Amino acid sequence: MSQSKYFTRQRLATSADSVYPHTEGSDHGHEVKKPASKLGRKRQHVKVDYHYDSTVASTVSSTGNQNIKAEPVCDSINSLSDNVQAQIIQYVFKVKEEPDAKAKKKWEPPLWREQLANIVEMRKFKDAPVDSMGCDELYDKDAEPKTLRYQILLSLMMSSQTKDGVTAAAIGRLRQHGCTVENILKTPDDQLGKLIYPVGFWRRKVDYIKRTSQILVDQHNGDIPDTLESLCQLPGVGPKMAHLAMKSAWKTITGIGVDTHVHRISNWLGWVRTKEPEQTRKALEEWLPREHWSEINHILVGFGQTICSPVAPKCVGCLNNDICPYAKSPKVKVKKGVKEEK
């Protein structure tokens, strides 16, 4: 005779009472049932899955082929066996392990892979200023690690609102002067200003460099911080510089460095719809696979310097001309036959 998968709270309690001794708070192992009028709630039913054993089997078999719906047994659960308790709890709090097949797929631009592949193809000659004068190229390769990382940080700080060629020249003068934390702190402000001029906002950057250098000595043993949060606390260092410093100085990818080129091109390609670089960074990191984070800045910056320039971009010769929303815009003015920026 088949055994029913359903059993009543009363039969559960009766079965448990036949095996376990009487416990305080129960009436010989049976739950004291209150009148329905005093319960103040509707009858609820619960199906309990359990492993076959002799105790439960003897109870279920007595019901024959009847399908009896069980009521909640929370009030008397302590009087049940550990096995039955575990089965009830497992059923009540069961969580689906399989992901929802109907879950919404994460958004990503429909043509981004093709667009990025085209940009990489156009960048294969590495003829952009960033390829020879970026922060990865300006530090002294023979310097000790602390000094090397310090020079990377300074090159990033001076690159803001400054062309790569001007930044590279300033770092070259600092290296000839002695670009170490200790030596920069000893250098008078007016002399330091002459060394870094004409980088953008050079007077303000003299103050940033001096204050940052002092913090490195006082709080970081003369080295640059190795966390994104601590880097962002340095004077004159924002999220873009911090992410790039973590990548170049510490070989750790913490996010995407977004400058004016990355911000502009990402919006033109339809990858994001943002107004500020930091918004662009967050939007890109929502969908761009992490394996692209380390190189996307370098790729797009060079692309922006040579082809996708902010004024009159060279859309005619761009491989993305047919799949770029900006290139299809009627307001776009493009350069024809213009020399690439060097």
Give the tens place of pLDDT for each residue, 205-247. Answer: 999 999 999 999 999 999 999 999 999 999 999 999 999 999 9
* Of 92, 125, 156, the domain-final residue: 92
Answer whether residue 103 is part of any domain: no
Task: Express as a percent the part of the chain with pLDDT over 70.
Answer: 66
Per-residue pLDDT for 184 more than 50?
Answer: yes
* Residue 240 annotated as catalytic: yes
* Of 57, 92, 127, the domain-final residue: 92
What is the pLDDT at residue 145?
Answer: 97
Q: Based on the domain organization, do 260 and 337 belong to the same domain?
A: yes
Q: Based on the domain organization, do 47 and 117 belong to the same domain?
A: no
Q: Based on the domain organization, do 24 and 84 belong to the same domain?
A: yes
Task: Express as a percent the part of the chain with pLDDT over 90.
Answer: 65
pLDDT-based confidence at residue 341 (cuts at 50, 70, 90): very low
Q: Based on the domain organization, do 147 and 230 belong to the same domain?
A: yes
pLDDT-based confidence at residue 281 (cuts at 50, 70, 90): very high
Q: Based on the domain organization, do 36 and 167 belong to the same domain?
A: no
Q: Based on the domain organization, do 198 and 218 belong to the same domain?
A: yes
What is the pLDDT at residue 292?
Answer: 98
Domain count along the chain: 3
Answer whether residue 200 is part of any domain: yes
CATH number at residue 126: 1.10.1670.10
Answer whether residue 293 is part of any domain: yes
Q: Based on the domain organization, do 122 and 262 belong to the same domain?
A: yes
Q: Based on the domain organization, do 231 and 160 belong to the same domain?
A: yes
Q: Which domain holds residue 130?
A: 110-139+255-342
Answer whether residue 209 is part of any domain: yes
Give the tens place of pLDDT for each residue, 144-172. Answer: 999 999 999 999 999 999 999 999 999 99
Q: Based on the domain organization, do 147 and 198 belong to the same domain?
A: yes
- In Å, the largest CA–CA distance within the chain is 99
Answer whether residue 4 is part of any domain: no
What is the pLDDT at residue 329?
Answer: 85
Question: For 84-112, what is the mean pLDDT?
Answer: 66
pLDDT-based confidence at residue 90 (cuts at 50, 70, 90): low
CATH number at residue 191: 1.10.340.30
What is the pLDDT at residue 225?
Answer: 98
Question: For 299-309, what is the mean pLDDT?
Answer: 98
Per-residue pLDDT for 88 more than 70?
Answer: no
Answer whether residue 244 is part of any domain: no
Residue 49, Ramachandran bin (φ over 0: left; ψ between -120 and 50: alpha; else beta): beta
* 330: Cβ contacts below 8 Å, ≥ 6 apart: none
Answer whether residue 216 is part of any domain: yes
Tokens representing residue 254 in the block: 């913490």
Q: Based on the domain organization, do 36 and 71 belong to the same domain?
A: yes
Tokens representing residue 298 in the block: 């370098």
Q: Based on the domain organization, do 289 and 233 belong to the same domain?
A: no
Compute the distance between CA of residue 334 and CA of residue 241 in angstroms, rounded to an integer: 31
Q: Is the pTM of this model over 0.85?
A: no
Q: Based on the domain organization, do 44 and 172 belong to the same domain?
A: no
C-beta of residue 118 within 8 angstroms of C-beta of residue 320: yes
Answer whether residue 98 is part of any domain: no
Of the candidates 94, 141, 210, 240, the residue annotated as catalytic is: 240
* Of 237, 263, 284, the domain-final residue: 237
What is the pLDDT at residue 68?
Answer: 46
